[in-house]
Structure 1
Amino acid sequence: MRRLNILIWHIHGAYLTAITQAEHNWYLPVKPGAPEGYCGRGQDSSMPDYVREVPAEAIRNLDLDLVICQTPRNYQADRFEILSPEQRQLPTIYLEHNTPEPHPTDSKHPAADDPGVMLVHVTNYNRLMWDNGQTPTRVVKHSVAIDSTIRYTGQRQEGLVVVNELRRRGRMAGFDLFEQFRQHVPLTVAGMKSAEIGGIGEIHYTRLHQTVAQYRFLFSPMRYSSLPLAVIEAMTIGMPIVVVATTELPTVIQNGVHGFVSADPTELLAGMQFLLDNPTEARRMGDNARELAMRDFGLPRFVDDWNSVFSEALSSAPEVVSADAVAY
């Protein structure tokens, strides 16, 4: 397809790095002090050079084709603040990263019943559970853009959790499970504020996976979350996975094939101990996990899916009417 001019806010750095592998002209609004969504490329970014920062007040001067919102604030406030009246009529996509809140089945999506928006979910589970109303919805499964040379070694006989602010996020993120399990097996955590709970601290995204690769397995304790990117990243480097059997994960991980998945803590602990005691089997499952990641969560498929969504959004959008042409 032709190269598009796309506005997107910086909400999730790892996802932004992946979606911008689609070769378009991406524009990130920036503001002094870098408030939420306005930090631009971020520190030591690995995003391509065609991802450009633009002062928020200059966005209205861009010749845009598409706008991508990712939060209620983007959708309800930011776009009205920084876009011109003509730009607000452009094809708009709401990229929803999260499972429904506050209620798992009865939460109405902020963009529900908006015919001018295409709502894109990152898992089929999320699309099923959100009340999307009459808004057109699509699913684009995850991918990750990480160093393709990194491979699992598993030499550390210890499991790893990769979650930001695990303690603050509490039971939803599985903090209690992490605390319970590390009493029985060697288990640590990486991510923002993880050092406060005895973990290894925050590691910049460009260096994270080299560290992750050394641990025997990745454990995702999330009870209620979209498919965690940390799981896709670990599978991509060839690492076995242990996960709680909730949301989309039971459709991804198979017991004894890619690692272990269960809603029973006893079974999860047994799976962890098996991987710690059997490094050869851990490597076999990790190899299977990498094969799955390449097949179902690879970047070429991800980019193709997004380009299809962009094409559909452009083809179904009404013609933009200039404010100068409107009669009052």
Structure 2
Amino acid sequence: MRKLNILIWHIHGAYLTAITQAEHNWYLPTKPDQSEGYIGRGVDSTMPEYVREVPADEVRNLDLDLILFQTPKNYQTDQFEILSEEQLQLPKIYLEHNTPEPHPTFSRHPVADDPGVSLVHVTHYNRLMWDNGQAPSYVIEHSVAIDPSVRYEGHREEGIVVVNELQRRGRMAGFDLFEEVRQQLPLTVMGMKSAEIGGIGEIHYRHLHRRLAEYRFLFSPMRYSSLPLAVIEAMTIGMPIVALATTELPTVIENNVHGFVSCSPDELVEKMRYLLDNPAEARRMGEQAKKLALSRFGLERFVRDWNRVMEEVVTAPVLSTLRP
């Protein structure tokens, strides 16, 4: 397809790095205060050079083809602050990263009644649980863009959790389960504000995966979320996964093949001990996890899916978007 000029806000750095592997002209709005969505490429970015920063007050001068939202604020506020009247009529996609709140089945999506916006979910579970209304909806499963030279080592006899602000996010992110499990076996956490709860702290994305590769397994304590990118990243480097059997994960992790999933914390602790005591088995499962990650969550498939959806959206008749 032809190269598009796409406006996207910087919301999720890891996902942004992956989606911008699609070779289009990507524009990231910036503001001096670096408020939410306006940090541009970020510090020491690994994104391609065709991902460009543009001051927010100059966005209205861009010749754009597509607007890509990722948060209610992008959709409800930001677009009306920085886009021109002409740009407001352009094709639009809302990329939904999250499971619905406050209720998993009775939450209506913010764009459900807007005929001018197409909706992309990152998992089938997300699309199933959101009330999408009449919005054209798609599913494009995750991928990650990480250094292909990183390999699982697993020499640390310890598990690792990778979650930003685990304590603040509480039971939804499984903070209570993390606290319970780390009293029973070696387990630590990496991510924003993790040092405050005795963890490793935040590590730049460029270096995160080499550090991650040292640990025996990745534990995902998420009770309710989309499919965590940390799981895909760990699988991609050849690491076994231990996780709650919730949301999309039961369709990804097969017990004793890629790791273990269960809704019983006691059973998961037993399986973690097994991996700590059996490094060869951990490596075997990690190799199977990598095969699955490269086939189901590979970048080529991801870019192909995104190009297909973007082409369909930009060539469809444009309907007027709702106004606040």
Q: TM-score range by the shorter chain?
A: over 0.9
1:26 & 1:276 partners in 2: Cα distance? 43
Give the letter for the 2:288 counterpart: N
Partner deviation per Cα, 1:224-255 (whole Å, 9 max, x = no partner): 00000000000000000000010000110010
Is the contact made by 2:173 and 2:225 (CA closer than 8 Å) also made in structure 1? yes
1:206 & 1:281 partners in 2: Cα distance? 28
1:218 & 1:78 partners in 2: Cα distance? 36
Task: Please tell me the root mean square deviation across aligned C-alpha atoms, in Å.
Answer: 0.8
Give secondary structure in 2 for the equivalent of 1:179: helix
What is the aligned partner in structure 1 of residue 212 from structure 2? 212
What is the aligned partner in structure 2 of residue 15 from structure 1? 15
What is the aligned partner in structure 1 of residue 4 from structure 2? 4
Give secondary structure in 2 for the equivalent of 1:98: coil
Is the contact made by 1:90 and 1:317 (CA closer than 8 Å) also made in structure 2? no
Is the contact made by 2:165 and 2:191 (CA closer than 8 Å) also made in structure 1? yes
What is the aligned partner in structure 2 of residue 201 from structure 1? 201
Partner deviation per Cα, 1:144-201 (whole Å, 9 max, x = no partner): 0000100000000000000011111100000000000011110000001111111011
Give secondary structure in 2 for the equivalent of 1:270: helix
What is the aligned partner in structure 1 of residue 110 from structure 2? 110
1:317 & 1:292 partners in 2: Cα distance? 37
- Please report the TM-score for the alignment, with normalisation by the length of structure 1: 0.97
1:72 & 1:21 partners in 2: Cα distance? 25
Percent identical residues: 74
What is the aligned partner in structure 2 of residue 33 from structure 1? 33
Is the contact made by 2:115 and 2:319 (CA closer than 8 Å) also made in structure 1? no
What is the aligned partner in structure 1 of residue 303 from structure 2? 303
Task: Evaluate the alpha carbon distance shift between residue 255 and residue 319 of structure 1 in structure 2; reply closer, same or farther with a 3 A threshold.
Answer: closer
Partner deviation per Cα, 1:17-71 (whole Å, 9 max, x = no partner): 0000000000000001100000000000000000000000000000000000000
1:318 & 1:269 partners in 2: Cα distance? 52
Give secondary structure in 1 for the equivalent of 2:63: coil
2:319 & 2:35 partners in 1: Cα distance? 33
Give secondary structure in 2 for the equivalent of 1:74: helix
- Deviation of 1:317 after TM superposition, in Å, equals 3.1
Q: Residue 95 in 1 paired to residue 95 in 2?
A: yes
What is the aligned partner in structure 1 of residue 77 from structure 2? 77
Partner deviation per Cα, 1:96-153 (whole Å, 9 max, x = no partner): 0000001111001000021111000000000000000010000000000000100000
- Deviation of 1:84 after TM superposition, in Å, equals 0.5
- Deviation of 1:318 after TM superposition, in Å, equals 2.4
Give the letter for the 1:274 counterpart: Y
1:271 & 1:318 partners in 2: Cα distance? 52
What is the aligned partner in structure 2 of residue 126 from structure 1? 126
Which segments of 5 or more consecutive residues in structure 1 lack a partner in the other structure? 321-328
Is the contact made by 2:116 and 2:319 (CA closer than 8 Å) also made in structure 1? no
Q: Residue 60 in 1 paired to residue 60 in 2?
A: yes
2:317 & 2:277 partners in 1: Cα distance? 56
What is the aligned partner in structure 2 of residue 231 from structure 1? 231
1:66 & 1:309 partners in 2: Cα distance? 12
Give the letter for the 1:176 counterpart: D
What is the aligned partner in structure 2 of residue 315 from structure 1? 315
Query: Structure 1: which 4+ aligned runs deviate by more than 3 Å?
Result: none
Give the letter for the 2:200 counterpart: I
Give the letter for the 2:179 counterpart: E
1:266 & 1:256 partners in 2: Cα distance? 16
Written as runs of structure 1 = structure 2, the 5 A alignment for 1:235-314 is: 235-314=235-314
Is the contact made by 1:9 and 1:37 (CA closer than 8 Å) also made in structure 2? yes
1:91 & 1:33 partners in 2: Cα distance? 29
- Deviation of 1:319 after TM superposition, in Å, equals 8.3
1:47 & 1:307 partners in 2: Cα distance? 18
Give the letter for the 1:42 counterpart: G
1:319 & 1:104 partners in 2: Cα distance? 29
Give the letter for the 2:242 counterpart: V
Is the contact made by 1:116 and 1:317 (CA closer than 8 Å) also made in structure 2? no
1:282 & 1:244 partners in 2: Cα distance? 18
Give secondary structure in 2 for the equivalent of 1:309: helix
